[in-house]
Homo-oligomer: A and B are copies of this chain.
Amino acid sequence: MRSYTKVDKLRIAQTNKYNVFGCLLREGPINRAAIAKRTDLSVPTIMAITGELLEKGAVRSLGKGESSAGKPPEMLEAVPEAFYVAGVDLGRTAVRLVVNNAAAREVLCYTEATGDPFPEDVFIARLEKLIRSRLAALGGAGDRVLGAGVAMPGLIESGTGRVLISPDFGWKDVPLQENLGGKLPFRVLVRNSNHALALNESSRRGDEYKATFCVNLGYGIGAALVVGEELYSGAGGTSGELGHSVVEKNGPLCKCGNSGCLESVASGEAIARQASTVVAHHGRSKMAELCGGDPSKLDAGMVFQAAEAGDRGAQKIIAAAADYIGMGLSTAVNVLDPDRVILCGGLMKNGPSFLDMIRSGMEDHIMPRSDRKLEVTAGTLEEFSTAQGACRALMNVLWAERALPI
C-alpha cells in the first residue's frame, strides 16, 4: 500500500530477457517454441530476445534438433564460457578460491594457508595478487570474470561490506570490500561466511523449503536464516550470531565479553579447552595419549576420537556440547519456525552420532508440537561450500541488478 512500484516497459523487457536466459541455463539445449511455452512469452518476443542473446555471445545455436513432423527446430543453449564469477572463502586457517562459469559449474578451485592477517593492508594486497594470479591461469576466460564474492568471518556491514569486527582475524573496522574492490578490475562483494555458507547449503538441496536455518559448528558457532532463496541478513547485515545466545546464565566467560554464550560451552574451541583442563589435571586417558601429553595440542577432533574410543571424560564433554547446541537450536526454531535445519562445520565431520545427540538435545528443549514439519540434517561438509556461497551471493546481486553481460 505504501510504495509506488511503477512497472515500465524497460523493466518488462529486461525481466523477459533474464527469464529467457534463465530458461536456457536451466533447460537448454532447448528450441524457441519450447522457451516460449516455458516462459509464457510469445514466439516473436522469444525470437527478438534470443537474437539479442546470440549477438552478445551469451547463447549459441546447436543446429537443428529432431522433429517428428515438419521442419526440425533450431536448438539453443546458454554459452557456459560467456562469463565467470569468483568466490573467495577467507578462513582463519585457509583461503579458498573457486571460479564458476555462467552455468554455475566450477572451473577452478584453489587453497592456500591464510597465514598472518596483519597488517590488514598487506594481507589485502596479498589477496589481490592471489586472485589475479589464479584468474590469469584461466587465460582469456580470466577477462570475463564479472566479480568476486568474498566470505569473511565476523560482523560485516551490509551495503558497504566493511568488516566491523572479526575476532577470528583480529580485525576491527576494515573496509575490505572498498579496498579490495579498488584494486581489482571487477565487482567485489563481501559477505559474512555463515551467510555465504547458508546460501550455498540451502540452495543445493532443492527449493521445496520455506525457511532454512543453517548452522556452522566449528571453531566458533554461527548461523543464518534463508527464507525461500533469500538470505535474511538483518537490519545491519549481522544476523545469525547464534553462538552468542546465552545458554548458561552464569556460565564461562566468552570471547565476546559476556558469559554463558553457546560458543563458550559448545564450540570446537570450548570442547578443546574443556578437554585441556581434564588432561592437565587428571592422569592417563585416551585424550592425553592423542595429544602426546601436551594439553595445548588438543583439538576438538581428538576429543571426538577419544570419545569414540570410550574415554569417559571426552564423552561427557561431547554430550554436554551436543545438549547445549540442541538447546540453542530449540530457541532458534521456536522463534523462527524453519522447516529445515542444516548443520555444517568442522564439528559435524565427526560422524552421525553427534547429529543424533544434537537432535536428541533439541527434542528435550523444543516447544512440543505433534504437527511440526522440521528436517534436521547434516550439511554437505564440502571444503568449498563457503566459497561457492560467496559466488552465489554475488550472482544473486548481479541477477537482481540485471548486471549480467546479456
Give a binary string over A132-169; 1 marks a CB under 8 Å from any B CB, 0 the rest.
00000000000000000000000101000000110000
The stretch from A86-94, A230-238, A275-283, A303-311 touching chain B is: A230-238
CB atoms of A235 and B207 under 8 A apart: no
Given that A40-B4, A368-B258 are known contacts, is A246 also in contact with B330, CB under 8 Å in the complex? yes
Q: Does A199 contact B (CB under 8 A)?
A: no
A207, A225, A337: most-surrounded residue (chain B CB, <10 A):
A337
CB atoms of B241 and A368 under 8 A apart: no
CB atoms of B165 and A369 under 8 A apart: yes
Residues of B within 8 A of A223 (CB): 335
CB atoms of B7 and A339 under 8 A apart: no
Give a binary string over A1-26; 1 marks a CB under 8 Å from any B CB, 0 the rest.
11011110001100110110011011
Beta-carbon contacts under 8 Å, A301-341 to B: 327, 330-332, 334-340
Given that A1-B399, A5-B19 are known contacts, is A336 also in contact with B155, CB under 8 Å in the complex? no
Residues of B within 8 A of A128 (CB): none
Given that A38-B4, A258-B364, A365-B258 are known contacts, is A234 also in contact with B336, CB under 8 Å in the complex? yes
CB atoms of B7 and A241 under 8 A apart: no
CB atoms of A334 and B367 under 8 A apart: no
CB atoms of B235 and A367 under 8 A apart: no
CB atoms of B331 and A246 under 8 A apart: yes
Residues of B within 8 A of A38 (CB): 4
Report the Cα distance A371→B368, complex, angstroms.
37
Q: Does A76 contact B (CB under 8 A)?
A: no
Give a binary string over A175-216; 1 marks a CB under 8 Å from any B CB, 0 the rest.
000000000000000000000000000000001011100000
Residues of B within 8 A of A327 (CB): 246, 249
Q: Does A296 contact B (CB under 8 A)?
A: no
Report the Cα distance A297→B358, complex, angstroms.
42
CB atoms of B1 and A12 under 8 A apart: no
A223 to chain B, nearest CB (A): 7
Given that A235-B373, A246-B365, A367-B256 are known contacts, is A335 also in contact with B7, CB under 8 Å in the complex? no
What are 30 of the A-B contact pairs (CB < 8 Å)? A1-B18, A1-B395, A1-B396, A2-B22, A2-B207, A2-B229, A6-B16, A7-B7, A7-B15, A155-B369, A164-B369, A232-B336, A233-B337, A234-B338, A235-B340, A236-B337, A237-B337, A238-B369, A239-B337, A240-B335, A240-B337, A241-B334, A242-B334, A244-B334, A245-B334, A246-B331, A247-B249, A257-B368, A258-B364, A258-B366
In the complex, given contacts A227-B232, A246-B365, what are 9 additional A-B residue pairs having Cβ atoms less than 8 angstroms apart?
Answer: A2-B26, A6-B16, A164-B371, A225-B335, A235-B337, A239-B336, A244-B334, A246-B327, A248-B249
Give the top 6 A-B pairs by smallest Cβ distance, nearest first.
A234-B337, A235-B339, A210-B235, A239-B337, A241-B334, A245-B331
